[in-house]
Structure 1
Amino acid sequence: MNSKKKDTGSTDRISNLPEALICHILSFLPTEDSAWTSLLSRKWRYLFAYSPNLNFDASVKRFHPGTSRRVRTLILSVLTSFVDRVLVWRGDAAVNKFSLKCGQGVDQERVNHWILNVLERGVSDLDLHVTLDGGPLPAKVFESKSLVRLRIESENIHGVDVKDVLLPKLKTLYLNRVMLGEAEDWFEKLLSGCHVLEELALINVYSDIWKRSVSSKTIKRLTLSCADCDNIPDTVWFDTPNVVYLDYSDYVGVKYTKVNFGSLVEARIDLKMNSDQRAHAVFGHLVGNARDFLMGICNVQTLYLSAHTLEVLTFCCESTPVFKNLIHLTIQGDKTGWESLPALLKNCPNLETLVFQGLRHRYRINCEDVNGCICNFSGGIPACLSSSPVKVLKIMRFGVYDGIENQMEQIKHFLETMPRLEKLTIYYESTIHQLMMM
């Protein structure tokens, strides 16, 4: 019987791969790690520099807390020189993704030079996490014909010298703690230059603090967080008919001029009262009206409400709208009043799953009324529970706070009064994070 002799010699199969494929493999590594492959052979010496994705980390966080300032300065100098060399070695080669993390100690002009360099090479994915003391980032960031994804994040308030916005291919825009300008409505200016934008996240973006205006027919996912100061917006305008996911955190506005979320499927809402509104709410007075906003999202199917929003429903909403399509509701039920829950649950006729993230609530005078609070289990049955369509009830973070006996009484009350309840799941959270199923 003839048999073929096995090749027992060592074969460098990876080095025999096409260089384009090797560069693609290296693109999944941080650029500094892939640079070690240059020690393998002459062929590998500069291959890492031609990876379509460049990922540099020159942030102070990477250092050990005990690292001296002199050593940090030396390391940052080496890292920044390394970035310079990589960009030179690449020549005119295109860049698909450029990711940069850098903080204090890195020269601002150098950072701007790197950004402009990759913009000229037609970068499509630009990810900047910069915390610097210098001037603003270059305005060219918002004038790129190649960018598909843009992310700018900072640990302090970082400026961008925006003059014109022209991002014809941009589909994802994420800005966190960025100063865009003053007086003008920069939200509107941004969107006017993004014709195919599908995902927008504006988190603590500082521009006109008195106005929120988001108008786009292309956005499908919207995250807007404006509650970093104590200012109530005068007007709020949402004309986003194709948004399917909304994450909105803000203070209750004076006027909701337009709220159009015709395609909304899932929403996470964290509406707050500012210090003045909260002071008046102590006396039980209505201090605002968020009903127009809630009416604009009432077709949602999955809804998350923060504890702050429960207070807004109590003190800043004349009446609760009907959520006819809502099938899943999550409520942050810790350390807040539950006065708004009876009306809310009563106006969710098709609700199937109800989730409480905590069962510890603030006792108020309305708790003594049968239909004033769902915590009432000493007298009659609240109408919102006796007619509840809920089939699945989940209790999260059970055991985190004191008063476990009261929480058990509340759960018993749910079991006895919710007629269609089929399944109860309790997540018991302690130092060992136990899980209890019932």
Structure 2
Amino acid sequence: MVGQKEAKHACFKGLRLRFKEDIISQLPDPLICHILYHLPLQEAVKTSVLSTRWRSLWLWVPRLELNSQDFTDLNAFVSFGNMFFNSDRASCIHKLKLTITIGEIDNDASYVSSWIDAAIKRKVQHLDLHWCGVSNFFTKPLKLYNSETLVDLKLSEVLLDDANSRALFAVSESRQRDLILTVPAATTTGEIVTTLHLEDNCYPNEATFEKLVSSCPVLEELNLIIHEEDTKTFRLQSRSLKKLNLVRAYFHFRSSDPGVVIDAPLLCCLSIYDYASESFIVNNLESIAKIDISLLFGSGVFDERKRSNVHSFLLGITRVTDMTLCANTFEIICGQYSELDLLPRFGYMSHLHVTSRISDLKWLPTFLDSCPNSWFCDYEKMISEEMSFPFVPQCMLSSLEYVDFKVRILGLAAEMKLIRYFIENSAFLKRLTLRLVGNSARDNYTLKELLRIPRGSTNCEVVIL
């Protein structure tokens, strides 16, 4: 009897296992690959030992993130890559990321080019190549001009020569001439790169970068991080670019004065962190919705040349509607314009965000007077010092509706003076937002001071966070 029960139990157990196995085995390959797509590479490869059903399924996953540091040696790294790219499968590769570290992997990495060629043939859409090294760059030719599907490209520490950039993103040699001479009004998604990320790459000359960008006729987003030792002037011309993020760190030694020139009429979002370029020029800007500026216009004393560079830059961005200024840039811009008629007018700007020292806020009326239609201002940082405001700008009398102090208010004399300036003089102010420190005694004192301030607008609401 006991033996029959054990046999029956074993039978049921076997049926349950077979039932589970049947459910998995009946899943279609695309669904299994979709599951593996969301697993780390190591976990996806481990599934190959489950059964013959799973032995090669991971090779069909349309995504690969390959890092040389995950392998014990060069042979293991190359062998694994060859197995993936040289398989007999005919499926597509949606996303490919290669991270190769100098020192662990040799410089003569011709296999990388063959892997990328294989990915291009399998219609890769997102390609990320990062060649990690202190002063080494990947120099093998990349035949990306054969791609008909690449829409997102990221290159880090790669040497781009003229052969690459001349026709880097042309769909094919037969269409290359058409793409260079004309910019199509619409392009099927995937035919040409729309997002480009370039980080610490090496450009032998200025023309190389210009050709690289111009070979992307439907480029919409560019993230450009310039290597700290690169002193060239970067000229960017694009009839399609909408979003640009540019980073150029400060460096002490240079043989020439670097700069940036942007000609992108459709640009609507611009972020600049550049403490190296002597000049920064924006031309032919039709409209720009948002700009975030951290500029020093080079090092050294402020002379007539720097003054001219600042003025030229401001003239190029007068159509901005939303502007963010860091403390250093605000000081540089306002420090030279003692006369109001010298500062360009920002007639389209409605939102101004300023990070400033209290000592520099003496220039605030001058700057606000050049923004007659501003209705929202906020302030990020203040340091306690005495200050004075000699006049009230036009926007405070006609359009300013919202003021937001991002810094926590301590109730110091300089802080209260600035708050009083806005509350008393803003005729159409609807809301002024403050953040207190959370100290009950100090906050109570600050609140009492606020209640004593007469309001220039009967609709003004003071919001305490």
1:191 maps to 2:213: yes
Note the alpha carbon deviations across 1:182-222, whole angstroms, 9 max, x for none: 4x333312123222211112111479734231111011111
The corresponding residue for 1:325 is 348
The corresponding residue for 1:375 is none
Q: Which amino acid aligns with 1:136?
A: F
The corresponding residue for 1:222 is 244
The alignment partner of 1:267 has SS state of strand
Q: Which structure 2 residues correspond to residues 11-22 of structure 1 after superposition, within 5 A?
A: 13-22=23-32
Structure 1 residues 51 and 388, CA, compared in 2 at 3 Å: closer, same or farther? same
Q: Which amino acid aligns with 1:419?
A: A
Which of the residues 26, 32, 37 maps onto 1:27? 37
Q: Which structure 2 residues correspond to residues 74-113 of structure 1 after superposition, within 5 A?
A: 74=72, 81-89=79-87, 91=89, 93-109=91-107, 112-113=110-111
Q: Which shifted more, 410-419 or 33-42?
A: 410-419
Would you say the 8 A contact 1:425–1:437 is kept in 2?
yes
1:304 maps to 2:334: no
Structure 1 residues 248 and 31, CA, compared in 2 at 3 Å: closer, same or farther? same
Q: Which shifted more, 267-276 or 78-87?
A: 78-87
Note the alpha carbon deviations across 1:45-102, whole angstroms, 9 max, x for none: 2111211111223448xxxxxxxxxxxx737875564334333345554322101234
1:179 maps to 2:182: no
Normalised to the residue count of structure 2, the TM-score between the two structures is 0.72
CA distance in 1, matches of 2:90, 2:385: 63
Would you say the 8 A contact 1:343–1:384 is kept in 2?
no
The alignment partner of 1:310 has SS state of helix
The alignment partner of 1:29 has SS state of coil
1:398 maps to 2:408: yes
Structure 1 residues 310 and 98, CA, compared in 2 at 3 Å: closer, same or farther? same
Normalised to the residue count of structure 1, the TM-score between the two structures is 0.76
CA distance in 1, matches of 2:437, 2:143: 45
1:262 maps to 2:286: yes
The alignment partner of 1:178 has SS state of coil
The alignment partner of 2:138 has SS state of coil
1:350 maps to 2:373: yes
User: What is the deviation of 1:345?
Assistant: 0.8
Which of the residues 364, 368, 374 maps onto 1:341? 364
Note the alpha carbon deviations across 1:308-330, whole angstroms, 9 max, x for none: 22122134668222112211111
Would you say the 8 A contact 1:269–1:309 is kept in 2?
yes
Which of the residues 154, 157, 160 maps onto 1:151? 154
Which of the residues 410, 423, 426 maps onto 1:415? 423
Would you say the 8 A contact 2:378–2:403 is kept in 1?
yes
CA distance in 2, matches of 1:336, 1:139: 54
Q: Which amino acid aligns with 2:352?
A: L
Structure 1 residues 385 and 14, CA, compared in 2 at 3 Å: closer, same or farther? same
Q: Which amino acid aligns with 2:147?
A: K
User: Unmatched 5+ residue regions in structure 2?
Assistant: 1-14, 171-191, 439-462
The corresponding residue for 2:127 is 126
The corresponding residue for 1:437 is 464
User: Unmatched 5+ residue regions in structure 1?
Assistant: 1-6, 61-72, 372-380, 431-435
The corresponding residue for 2:434 is 426
Structure 1 residues 81 and 234, CA, compared in 2 at 3 Å: closer, same or farther? closer
Q: Which amino acid aligns with 2:128?
A: D
Note the alpha carbon deviations across 1:130-171, whole angstroms, 9 max, x for none: 3136552423165442422111235xxx53445332213111
Instruction: State how many pairs are aligned.
Output: 393
CA distance in 1, matches of 2:138, 2:72: 25
More helix by share: 2
Structure 1 residues 210 and 78, CA, compared in 2 at 3 Å: closer, same or farther? closer
Structure 1 residues 36 and 424, CA, compared in 2 at 3 Å: closer, same or farther? farther
**Percent identical across equivalent pairs?**
26
User: What is the deviation of 1:246?
Assistant: 1.0
Structure 1 residues 118 and 23, CA, compared in 2 at 3 Å: closer, same or farther? farther
The alignment partner of 1:337 has SS state of helix
The corresponding residue for 1:295 is 315
CA distance in 1, matches of 2:40, 2:273: 34
Q: Which amino acid aligns with 1:152?
A: L
CA distance in 1, matches of 2:351, 2:223: 24
Q: Which shifted more, 261-270 or 229-238?
A: 229-238
CA distance in 2, matches of 1:45, 1:51: 13
Structure 1 residues 11 and 408, CA, compared in 2 at 3 Å: closer, same or farther? farther
CA distance in 2, matches of 1:325, 1:162: 41
The corresponding residue for 1:69 is none
The corresponding residue for 1:238 is 262
